[in-house]
Chain A
C-alpha cells in the first residue's frame, strides 16, 4: 500500500507546485492521476521514488517512509519500484536484453553492474520477460531501432525485472498509437491483478483512465480535488479537475 500524506513541493519561491497532496494507492489496483497540463502529476510521481526532493510530507510504502531513507536504503527501495516514461528512456545503442537486465542494477554491486556480470538465471528471466511482452524475437535488437510501442514494452520488462512492488508510469502511452496503447494498458492492468502490484499512472487521456483505472486521483494546480473510485467520477467532479484558472489563460495569450 502506498500512502502519500501532506506532500509539499515548490521548485521556486514564487509558486508552490504541490500543496499538501495526500492520496492512497492499493496493490492490485490501477490508480490513475489525472489533471490538466502543469497540474503537478509528474512532480508527484517523481517524488514517490525521490528522483526529486520534495519539501515536506510523508510517502509511506508498506509503512516505511521513503523520504526518511538513507542513500543505501533508498537504493534498495528504488530497486523495488519500477518506472516507465513517456519517451521510454531506454539506452538506445544497447540491446533490448541489456536494457531489461538494467532492472537488476539496484541489486548488484557497483562493479558487477558496470562489468555487466549477470547470472544465467537473470539472463533467462530477462528473456522470459521479453517473451511475455511479445518481444522474444527482438531481444538482441538495438533499442533505438524498435518502434515506440516496442520500446515501451521493453521499458515494462525492465521494470518487471526489478521484481517491483509498485510501478510508476508517467504518461506511458502519450506517444503511442491506439493499438500500442491498448497493448500497453492491457499489460499494466493484467500485472496489477495477477501480481498484486501497485500501479500508479499519470494519464492525459481521460477515456483511457476511465476504461482502465480502478481508482482516480484528480489534481488541479497542485491540489488534490478528487480521490475516489473510477465509477464515482461525476461530470461535476471532472469539471473541477480540468478547471482552468481564467486569468492565467488570458495572460498566457497576451
Chain B
C-alpha cells in the first residue's frame, strides 16, 4: 500500500495537512479571543502607549541609586537562596534518581514509586508551593528556600533519572562482571559517566531558580521579590526598575559563567 504513494501525492497531502492545521489554529485563536472579549487591533494599538509609560516611570534615575545598597543586599541573599536550594535539591535528586533509574534501581518497583513521587512534586507549581508553605513556615527566607527546593527536587529527579537511564547498561554489567558491589558500580561507573551532564543541569537550575526566587519572594515577602513589591506598591517605580535591571544583569552574568563552566568540564 505505501509504495502506491508517489512523491507528488505525498507532498500534496502534506501541504493540505499543514493548511488544515494552520486554519484550525487560527480558528482556535479567534474563538478564545472572542470569549475573553479581547480585540487584537485595539490591544496592539495600546502596546506602544504602555511601553512609553513603562519607560518613563521605570527608568532608574540618580535618585534611585540611594536604594542601591538595600537592593544589592537583598539580591545577594536571593542569589544565595537560589544556589543553596538548587544544590540541596540536587543532592536529594541524585539519591532518588539512583534509586529510581531503571539500570540502578534496587528493585523494579522503586522506578515507579520515585517517578510517581517526582511527578506529584512537579505538578504543583512553584507559586502554589510558596502559598502552601507560607502556612507552616510563615514569612521567612526558609519558606522561599523550601518552595524552590521542592520544585527543583521534582525537576532534577526527573532529569537525573533520565540521564542515568541514557547510560549503556552494559557498562554496569562490565563492572558487575569484575565482581564490583552495587555501591561500587554506582560510584565507580554511574557517577563518573553522568557527572558532567548532572553539573549542567545544576547550573541551569541555579539560573532558573534565581528568576523564580524573585517571584517566590513577592509571595513569601522575602528577598529581592519583597523589596520589588514594596517599592512598587509605594510608587517608587524607578527603584523597582533598578531592581529589574540588576536582576537582568545578574541572570546574564550567571548564564555566561555557567556556559563557561560547562565548556570547561565537557
A91–B192 contact, CB under 8 A?
yes
Once the chains bind, are B178 and A79 in contact (CB under 8 Å)? yes
Complex: A158 Cα to B189 Cα, angstroms: 14
Q: Mark A51-71, 1 if CB is under 8 A from B, else 0.
A: 100000000000000000000
Residue of B nearest to A78 (CB): B179
Docked pose: A89 CA to B171 CA in angstroms: 5
Q: Which B residues lie within 8 Å of A107 (CB)?
A: 179
Q: Does B20 contact A (CB under 8 A)?
A: no
Contact between chains at A105 and B184 (CB < 8 Å):
yes
Hey, which chain A residues are within 8 Å of B193, CB to CB? 91-93
Q: How far is the CA of A114 from the CA of B191 in the complex (A)?
A: 10
Interface size class of A (residues with CB under 8 A): 20 to 34
List B contacts of A77 (CB < 8 A).
179
Check B176 against A51 for contact (C-beta < 8 Å): yes
- Contact across chains for B181 and A75 when beta carbons are under 8 A apart: yes
Q: Once the chains are docked, how many angstroms separate the CA of A143 from the CA of B60?
A: 54
Interface residues of A in 79-136 (CB under 8 A from B): 79, 81, 83, 85, 87, 89-94, 102-103, 105-108, 110, 113-114, 116
| Chain B contacts with A in 161-215, Cβ cutoff 8 A | 168, 170-171, 173-181, 183-184, 186-189, 192-193, 195-196
- Docked Cα-Cα span, A5 to B196, in Å, equals 46
Expressed in whole angstroms, the Cα–Cα distance for A102 and B175 within the complex equals 8
Given contacts A85-B170, A110-B184, A114-B184, contact A91 B189 (CB under 8 A): yes
- Dominant SS among interface residues on chain B: helix
User: In whole angstroms, what is the CA distance A169 to B183 when docked?
Assistant: 25
A76 within 8 A of partner (CB): yes
In the bound complex, residues from chain B placing their C-beta under 8 Å from that of A78 are 176-179
Across-interface contacts of B171 in A (CB, < 8 A): 89-91
In the bound complex, do residue A114 and residue B187 qualify as a contact, i.e. CB atoms below 8 Å apart? Answer: yes
B183 touches A114 (CB 8 A): yes
For B196, the chain A residues whose CB sits under 8 A away are 93
Give, as a whole number of angstroms, the nearest-CB distance from A68 to chain B.
17
Min CB gap B187→A, angstroms: 4
Confirm or deny: A17 has a beta carbon within 8 angstroms of a beta carbon on chain B: no
A91-B193, A93-B195 are known contacts. Are A106 and B178 too (CB-CB below 8 A)?
A: yes
A150 at the interface (CB under 8 A from B): no
Contact between chains at B173 and A87 (CB < 8 Å): no
Nearest-Cβ distance from residue B186 to partner chain A, whole angstroms = 8
Bound-complex Cα distance A162 to B175 (A): 12
A213 and B181 alpha carbons, distance in the complex (Å)? 33
Which A residues form the contact surface with B (CB < 8 A)? 46, 49, 51, 75-79, 81, 83, 85, 87, 89-94, 102-103, 105-108, 110, 113-114, 116, 158, 162, 168
Closest 10 CB pairs of A and B: A106-B179, A114-B187, A79-B179, A89-B174, A78-B179, A105-B180, A113-B184, A83-B177, A75-B179, A89-B171
Cβ contacts A to B, 6 pairs, < 8 Å:
A81-B177, A87-B168, A89-B173, A105-B179, A114-B187, A158-B178
